[in-house]
Structure 1
Amino acid sequence: MAATFYKYIILGGGVAAGYAAREFASLGVLPGELAIISKEAVAPYERPALSKAYLFPEGAARLPGFHTCVGSGGERLLPDWYAEKGVELILSTEIVKVDLAEKTLASSFGGIFKYGTLIIATGATFIKLSDFGVQGADAKGIYYLREIDDADSLVEAIRAKPGGKAVIVGGGYIGLELAADLIINKLDVTMVYPEPWCMPRLFTSEIAAFYEGYYQNKGVKIVKGTVATGFESDASGNVNLVKLKDGRELPADIVVVGVGARPLVSLFKGQVEEEKGGIKVDAFFQTSVPGVYAVGDVATFPMKIFNDKRRVEHVDHARKSAIQAVQHIKATEKGTSVAEYDYLPFFYSRSFDLSWQFYGDNVGDSVVFGQTDPSVPKAKFGAYWIKDDKIVGAFLENGSPEENKAIAKVARVQPPVTSKEALLASGLEFASKI
């Protein structure tokens, strides 16, 4: 079979692909030069919508409402946009073999694609409990959430089990956001996670206590310090019981698992340098192979602000890294240059009427300020992380746009701190003065 050639190919159809396509279009790309190859059946979309609004019982997010690039306030790129720009959307196509030396991609259908420049934007996929040999983990009624098809399946399950019992395995991003969604859908929700508090990778115990208390006030039951070790099913193969390591058993009509993700890099093993679980790239997202870039979840890149290398799984980085890579590709063609990637880590979440933002790094000592009583309506509080006598991270719940900009500036500037007590007393006022 003859290969189809594109000057540029973006492998993956998630958030990074949409932002990369928009940047190519803005910098100039001829019809037929650029293709996006995606195993999903729809044009790139803002993936966070799946856990934040897609499951709402009323006013739920639906396509085409959240195609990229609306997540950052930009134009919504509908499928017609790609056609108008001469960008080829090759959907429902899974690439099963990559040869970086020959610059070829082979699909499961037998199609062969050749490229001049490749952007790897394959993202990450969820970790399944069956990967660990958990008994009964392949039963019907156990759900994961990563793509729109996953969300559609979960919507159907919620509608089929009104008032049913839902067990969420995991206490991170997905667990917390989906617990809120399912409670809003009037299900009986229990969260199970092994850590001593929720979101341990980011939250301190004091911050976590606020969110756990808030969720419990909303009706979410929380079981900490144990894991799911097995599932039982009914005669039809549908899950009906979750077995925990501590001996407890939880009846369940729906189980949603959110225990982490792993980058999709297996296609490139042995062909490109890797580091810290991802594909090693430079400050322009170039890999060790000329003409091959890696962006978003799969890239381990230089974190300039902290002078180390990291892999970041977050939509903000997916957007910005894609833009950086395309700018470098086009600048190189013109014989010009772009500035090195200088990323400030950013994470956020929205659930119920809560909305928090975090910038920087959560290392060192923490100082929590403000109202942390979960029973107080619209409670506002925040935290700073201090390392080597300077602020390296900042967090704020229920902040205004101006206040969120202020804490972002604090994390970027990293001002010195002489007294934790003074910082505690000044709280958010400190950020407004930086």
Structure 2
Amino acid sequence: MRPLIGKGISVFGRYPSLRPAFPTTPGHHSATAQRAYLSGNPPVHGKLASNFSMSAASKSFSTVLLGGGVASGYFAREWIKEGGKGSDLAIISDDTVVAYERPALSKAYLFPEGAARLPGFYTSVGVGGERQDPTWYSSHGIEYLTETAIKSADLKNKTLTTEDGTAISFEKLVIGTGARVTRLEDFKTPGADLEGVYYLRKVADADALLEGIAEAKKKGPDVNIVIVGGGYIGMEVGAGLVKHGVNLTLVFPESRLMERLLTPELAGFYEKYYEGKGVKLIKKDLVTALEGTDGKVTTAVLKSGKRLPVDLVVVGTGARPNVELFKGAVDLLEGPPGGIKVDGRLQTSAPGVFAVGDVAAFKPAFTGELTRQEHVTNARLTGAYVAREILTPGTQPEYDYLPFFYSREFDLSWQFYGQSQGDPVHFGDQSSGKFGAYWIKDGTVVGAFLESGSEEENAAIKKVIQTKAKAPSDLQAQGLAFAASL
């Protein structure tokens, strides 16, 4: 696992040694201003106060949540909602900002106009909840440590140790370390370390990508960008970047976009749509090397022998769970998709230790198989579930989750529930813009996909999967009406 990178700095809380020298001021929400507060350097009359460090020998908390992703924000929200004391909770994160709705990064954050920016998408605005900006955590007494590196975890003795040697003890630990992007270095791709290669996981990544585009445009109007990957991230990032007027190419080894989910018929619609926006798709091919001049990427070399001129390369080839810190301490799911094994209450094999979000491997009742769900909805739900479980143990049903994915690209918007296994049955008219598919396995509808559905229609296809509806012989003819009839 890439260690939780940072400075070991505290943002808020009840310990004087960890508290910034100046109070958090509402209104300072830009990445720069927030980093100033979160690093202990709040702006004072346009200047920065002197730095301070979390260098005390040890600190103790009732509950510690390790990780600053979506699950952390929703854990904190539920903790306070259910009567938990903020002073009992510490959140430790390697990010420079408090928890935010990560899906915004591959969507509106990349837009050249009307772009999403903090404080607009802190958790829990994704569900219409209160905006949990830095002041929110401060006002509730929650200790939120950002830019903080954990170098070791001793689960038997219930202690985390930061890079500066501070020992943080806990009674309950929630592991929300999430996943890290798969990098070209992981494939040993020559030229992976050249300047101009970007990934997207955090606000800082998105900012760097936008800065890279701006710099490239200074050299001329024709900016060439290659996106490595034709999956979820590749499609969403592509939809955002094409708005910048760049020459965009997606390169991916599969025979179609989002091959693991979309049927050839569904993928064909999105491929034509993207091509209509000027996006070039290169299928069944790989970027095997990057070449550059003066340390800056200039060429993407493909397995087929093609050489693509590039100013920037964006890599969207999946993610890997951050479990290395806990090897030997908790049971891990060996092999893909990896992760930390949890039971029905999201507890790991270590007493008093839970896992949430992308890193947790659990068994949804729908599949009965250990899996990880890299999706914001699961992150929100697992975070809230474990908060309740710690506060009121055993009083709620075991955690369950219906596999769900959604995406928004250009003026398109789709939702999917269940599994894309079995025989697909397509319905609707693609030319009308509203269409979808069901997947049938052993006579049961196990998957449902709908493009441009209303709130009611999306709820209807979800119900089809939840109820394990049997497929009628005229399912194709009924189409969306079948879902509405249940």
TMscore range, shorter length: over 0.9
| Counterpart pick for 1:397 among 430, 446, 451 | 451
Distance in 2 (alpha carbons) for counterparts of 1:159 and 1:289: 48
Moved over 3 A (4+): none
With 153-162 and 46-55 compared, the bigger mean Cα shift is at 153-162
| Counterpart pick for 1:293 among 334, 354, 377 | 354
Kindly state the Cα deviation for residue 160 of structure 1 after the two structures are TM-superposed: 1.6
Match of 1:272 in 2: 330
Match of 2:303 in 1: 245
Match of 1:209 in 2: 268
With 106-115 and 343-352 compared, the bigger mean Cα shift is at 106-115
After superposition, give the CA deviation of every residue in 1:65-120 in whole Å (9 maximum; x if it has no partner): 10000112211101111111111110111212111111111112222211110000
Kindly state the Cα deviation for residue 418 of structure 1 after the two structures are TM-superposed: 3.8
After superposition, give the CA deviation of every residue in 1:312-348 in whole Å (9 maximum; x if it has no partner): 111110010111111111112xxx5111112111100
Kindly state the Cα deviation for residue 124 of structure 1 after the two structures are TM-superposed: 0.4
Asked if the contact 1:136–1:232 (Cα under 8 Å) also holds between the matched residues in 2, the reply is yes
After superposition, give the CA deviation of every residue in 1:113-133 in whole Å (9 maximum; x if it has no partner): 111100000100100011111
What secondary structure, in the 3-state scheme, does the structure 2 residue paired with 1:209 have? helix
Q: What is the one-letter code of the residue matched to 2:156?
A: A
Say whether residues 1:133 and 2:188 are aligned partners: yes
Match of 1:338 in 2: 396
Q: What is the percent sequence identity of the aligned residues? A: 52
RMSD, aligned α-carbons: 1.1
Kindly state the Cα deviation for residue 200 of structure 1 after the two structures are TM-superposed: 1.2
Q: Which runs of 5+ in 1 are unaligned?
A: none
Distance in 1 (alpha carbons) for counterparts of 2:175 and 2:148: 15
Say whether residues 1:189 and 2:241 are aligned partners: no
What secondary structure, in the 3-state scheme, does the structure 1 residue paired with 2:99 have? coil
Say whether residues 1:366 and 2:420 are aligned partners: no
Kindly state the Cα deviation for residue 161 of structure 1 after the two structures are TM-superposed: 2.1
| Counterpart pick for 2:313 among 231, 242, 255 | 255
Match of 1:91 in 2: 146
What secondary structure, in the 3-state scheme, does the structure 2 residue paired with 1:303 have? coil
Match of 2:123 in 1: 68
Say whether residues 1:309 and 2:370 are aligned partners: yes
Match of 1:51 in 2: 106
Kindly state the Cα deviation for residue 305 of structure 1 after the two structures are TM-superposed: 2.1
After superposition, give the CA deviation of every residue in 1:210-256 in whole Å (9 maximum; x if it has no partner): 11110001100000001000011112x11010000000010000100
Asked if the contact 1:304–1:341 (Cα under 8 Å) also holds between the matched residues in 2, the reply is no
Distance in 2 (alpha carbons) for counterparts of 1:77 and 1:31: 14
| Counterpart pick for 2:96 among 20, 27, 41 | 41
Distance in 2 (alpha carbons) for counterparts of 1:30 and 1:137: 46
Distance in 2 (alpha carbons) for counterparts of 1:174 and 1:159: 21
Distance in 1 (alpha carbons) for counterparts of 2:425 and 2:349: 41
Asked if the contact 2:125–2:131 (Cα under 8 Å) also holds between the matched residues in 1, the reply is yes
Q: What is the one-letter code of the residue matched to 1:280?
A: K
Q: What is the one-letter code of the residue matched to 1:178?
A: V
Match of 1:329 in 2: 390
Asked if the contact 1:371–1:379 (Cα under 8 Å) also holds between the matched residues in 2, the reply is yes
Kindly state the Cα deviation for residue 205 of structure 1 after the two structures are TM-superposed: 1.2
What secondary structure, in the 3-state scheme, does the structure 1 residue paired with 2:213 have? helix
What secondary structure, in the 3-state scheme, does the structure 2 residue paired with 1:74 have? coil
What secondary structure, in the 3-state scheme, does the structure 2 residue paired with 1:208 have? helix
With 311-320 and 25-34 compared, the bigger mean Cα shift is at 25-34
Structure 2 CA distance for partners of 1:153 and 1:390, relative to 1, 3 Å: same
With 224-233 and 267-276 compared, the bigger mean Cα shift is at 267-276
**What TM-score, normalized by structure 2, do the two folds share?**
0.86
After superposition, give the CA deviation of every residue in 1:403-431 in whole Å (9 maximum; x if it has no partner): 01111111111111242xx1111110110
Say whether residues 1:381 and 2:435 are aligned partners: yes
Q: Which runs of 5+ in 2 are unaligned?
A: 1-55
